[in-house]
Structure 1
Amino acid sequence: MPTAVPTPKAVVHQRFGAKARYTVEEVREDVGGCPGLAPQTRNVYRCALDLPGLSVATPGTFLRKKDAEQAAAQIALDKLGIHPTANSPTTPQEAWAELIARISGFFIDENFLSSTHPLIGHLCVSLRRTGDLIGRLPLSAIAACDVKVNTLCKLIDHRAEFDPLLVLSLLYNAAKQSPGVSVSDSNFWIQSEKPYSPEAVDSALERWSGTTDPVEVEAVLVPHMLEDELKTVRINLRDNEHYMSYVAAELSAIDSSHVLVSRTIGKTSSEIRLYFAAANIHAVSDMSKHALDSLGDGDINWQVNKRASYICGQTIYGDALLANIGYTRRDSELHTEDVNLCSYYRILLGKLPDGNCKMSRDSILAAELPSAYSRFSWKGLSPRDLLCSFCRLQRLPEPHFAVSRVSCDTLMSAVSSEERGAPAGSAENQYTNDVRINKEKPDLFKCEVNIRSRKQEVLLEYSAADTWSKESDAIQNSSLKVLIWFNNYFKKLTSKTGKLYLSESTAGVKVHSNIFLQEFAMCLSVYGKNGCSDSAMCSAVGPFSMDTQKKHLESTAKLTHIEGPDSGVFPSHGSLTCISYTASLVTKDKAKTYLLESHNEFEFEIGTGAVSNQLESCVTQLSVNQTARFVAELPPRDLIMAASCEFSHDLSNVSSESCFLEFSVKVLQVTEPLEDRMEKALFSPPLSKQRVEFAVRHINELHATTLVDFGCGSGSLLDSLLEHPTTLEKLVGVDISRKGLTRAAKSLHQKLSKKSTTQTNVPTAVLYDGSITDYDSRLYGFDIGTCLEVIEHVEEDQATLFGNVVLSSFRPTVLIVSTPNYEYNPILQGSAMPNKDDEADESAGPCKFRNHDHKFEWTRLQFQCWATGLAVKHSYSVEFSGVGGSGEEPGYASQIAVFRRLVQGQEAMCLDEDGDQPYEVLWEWPNACVN
């Protein structure tokens, strides 16, 4: 890649620094106009440039100030005979020659002392000294302050990018050959052979002020032994002493010239670096002695500090000091800032796939990496930014995103019945024909992601069939999938498992194991004591799950100190919920409480995994304006320390067995799920109420006395039925979510308690914890069964399994099943989101599902094929209806199948009252109590 020629102004700055003074004058000049009209004028600029011994001015004028300044600089360079060219070195030999010249220039060019280069701060401290150390600099200060020196070292030996010790070796040997420079034979001091002029020294000291008062700064000592604990140290800095002298004392180095400095860690504006001690001078010098000829092998037997090396991406040897001290172009005095244990653990957290997600939301203990992306509800850094940040902090190249267009016609013709849930080929054809009635669809987008190693070898590839109507959505969703894969891997890495598997192909992710393990070798060694002790343990190929939303066990929070009246507005799946919360670490004797985290307003979407399981469990049990507390599972020590801030020193000595984590939560606001908002925008009453009314009609027509709601969730149907006059005597709900059942129990208990005070014919009620695909004999032969808007939340094979189990084993007299009509989605989404750039446009496939948690949505023909097949198989009749709309094209918004058991199918089953009862009774009325 060709190197750009430096601008004239840049060359002048390199040569003269602050001594170059530009004076820009603004003038007005006439502009040619039409005869007979008033003359027109415009603002133009001319520039004068003053240099030591030379003054020039532009003969003409310029429309822009910067053009005038560049012209003046060019005139000055022409008079001085300086001709800037793109002469950046391209070979190690050229880089070596330029490195020698650059080191020399720092000391023989007195104009350098008047520049803003951070190295001047180090020089000024040395010039204030007396005795032998006056004017002496540690060679490592040059590497710490000058980017070009590091670039030249990388060109000489590419390994220098990751090894500060090799950089020091190259600098030492180059300085030995630099004219006008004196280098010690017994240490790493460098200085000018001739003293600086008094004028140059005075000018530098005037700009770079010293430390007027003693300064105390906190730093973290990172031992090279993984078994040794980190500890904080305090460094007292005084005037006329180089800060690296104090660092050397903490590291027990020979002197400050033996202190090496890493690259900066974290933000670009940060001066956080790792300091460590160099070995003897002969060993360091030999590292690069033959670099130009053979580049050497660089093998060093010194002890590598794995923790320090991991967080900075360079090889650090021995004990290291993490500190924020140094000189910058922004300041004219020494910059200092405390670094504590919290700082260290936040740096460590930032290198995890979900770390920047937590920190961008300022919520380390509560926030999690969500499992689904939505422009409507996503908070914090976008998935793409998070993935780029993760790669950057792992010292990997930027991810490569390959976006391609997919024609809707091609997609429709290629889609299989399995992909769209069609039970038969005819259903697929109906899908193709019906959804696109007289409506031209734009092309869709899909995105592939490649993650490459430092050597530009592909280590991970992501490619999936998902398509999106916006290019940005394709990139964000693909980025999130890759992040989730990395997050799952790192979670397993940090867990105490005996064996870690690295799957080579999972859910669209293909991993090149050998390359992956080479790139993350240092990470594996750091976390090895928790899970896998070496990379060999992590090289096996085995199963690896991508589904973070369903695979983990549900964790229910046990609430205490519930305050506030029940407003009746509860967060539900898909709702955007705003809470306030605090998270405190409390000692078991309750003698001390450490406030780790708090938010006055924290917003997230229920059901996407955006917060910890227990926090979401707590929130879904509360209504708006209610508060409660719960004790959460204690997170890993790293997270507690990252959240500890000013308590980091105290908590470093606290045992996890002696404390617990307590959350205090208040629900502030709930925004309905997009699906509900779409339905309410078009239908009155909403579809949910229309479905209840549909069920009530059939209950009363059948004179049903018993009802079971399969997949009752938080009990909205059962709750609504109590508000209608019906013939029901027994209500039963079944669900696999204890969170939902707990909320259903609270609501039903309140209503039934109120009813029992005014009525005598109050129905009994039972809530069971169990799967609707498992048979329980206690629910056999009910008058009516309902399953409203449930099957689309499970995979299609599970929906079919449910249909077979309920009709063959439970055998209700009537079964009502409802599910969204996919063909109605364009109407729903168009009414709710008329702006084409709004949420409804971020779609997968030709039209978006109503809820990102839906595994499928069927057309009318697909649903009819599914229901008819089940009815014929199990001796039921089936009729189709729906709610929402007139029923004309494209059908009802919510399609319904009503199964009726045929007379010839009413044979009695031989039941074992003590067997086939896998369900657990969670709550029962009237023998009920709610905590």
Structure 2
Amino acid sequence: MLMKLSTTHRPATDIGYLLSKSPERPQSKSLSFGTAHVFYPEASEECCSVVLLVDVDPVALVRGRGDADGPLAQYVNDRPYVASSFLAVAIAQVFSSAMGGRSKARAELAEQAIPLQVELPVIRCRGGEAQIRRCFEPLGFGVEIDRLPLDPQFPDWGDSPYYSLRLSCTARLADLLTQLYVLLPAMDGDKHYYIGADEVQKVVDKGGSWLSAHPERDWILAGYLKRKHSLVAEALGKLLNSDEHTVEQEAESKDGEEISLERKISLNERRMQSVESLLVRLGVRSVLDVGCGEGRLLSRLLDNKQFDRMLGIEVSSITLERAAERLKLDRLPPLKRARIDLQQGSLTYRDARMEGFHAACAIEVIEHIDASRLPAFERTLFEFARPAVVVITTPNIEYNSKFESLPTGRLRHRDHRFEWTRAEFAEWAQAVAQRHGYSVEFHPIGELDPELGAPTQMGVFSR
């Protein structure tokens, strides 16, 4: 089996430092199931490609084992050729430092997102082409897939269950390798070694930063752990406890702290009223509310018959339950209930459910996202979902001095990663608009101070 990894980062040969493998000579490493070879078919400053070739010895692998599947089953199979758990293990052992994000010679580059391309000549996926896309596209990959014929010399025999896959992305090399480590065995659905409790910790360690919010999380876990329900449940519990549970705890107090601080000036009510009035004026009929919280905006829109389709996306399951209670979803008349839906999801991964809406709203959301993940949020909303109108509100930090109960230097909520001045928000918003073909206007919300501005700043993007 073979994997080709390429980059056009300048100088491209720096990928050799990240992989701890010199482009000047081929290298080999013995594995428990065969031998891994690393070599560079191309190495220049403009483009550098490295190949990981895994030579599996199926006879040595099964020698001494039983033949429960038949005397030839262990010898006549596709495992030496199809990207699977064999390749994942080889990646982990041959590129261990790169997968861990470590590079003595290029430490800064190891933390940098660079253009990367991956070619996998043969993979197998239980869910077919659609499932391959559902695995990789939410992570920001460009995906090209070719279905391979059963036999090129006999086209009448039809297609095989195998695919040729090409991936492209701009990401940290460590992130790319850990995602391949989890997804290749999950898609193949058949690991070559015993699956036990230690595999649960592996998938949590490798997938904890991205898997918990992946739309296909449960399917990936089931494939990676060979559909052993107890292990899948254990892995899911650990993922939720290590990631989403933290998010949920933060989300539980998100509305409470800010509303308490801003209650005297009725700021939350003014925000919702301003956003609803804007959407009504623009003639919007379908609305996506990302980071919908407890559904305060959606509850207003639901009472207005102009809005015939609404979707709220929120990472916290607890907060979604509260939103469902606020909206009384289980007691709505059928026609009214058909206009609105709530779904759990991440704001930093591509999600097909977010596409096709006239307007998208992110009300007091971006300040809860790590600055390093804002580009992913930007792509999710402006590049992939791409509504005609995007409404974003965020605190104006200049106004904070007017809150008597807020200590100097403190942000309005302990989960805020940042709060921007009006100039900082305008700079970010204008750059986003320019990158994605939008124009943007800015509107104050709340009492306007002549020097400090308004407590909330709203950007309205349109294309």
TM-score range, shorter chain: 0.3 to 0.5
Q: State the TM-score, normalizing by the size of structure 2.
A: 0.45
The structure having more radius of gyration, on CA atoms, is: 1
Q: State the TM-score, normalizing by the size of structure 1.
A: 0.23
Q: Which has the higher contact order (CA 8 A, sep 6+)?
A: 2
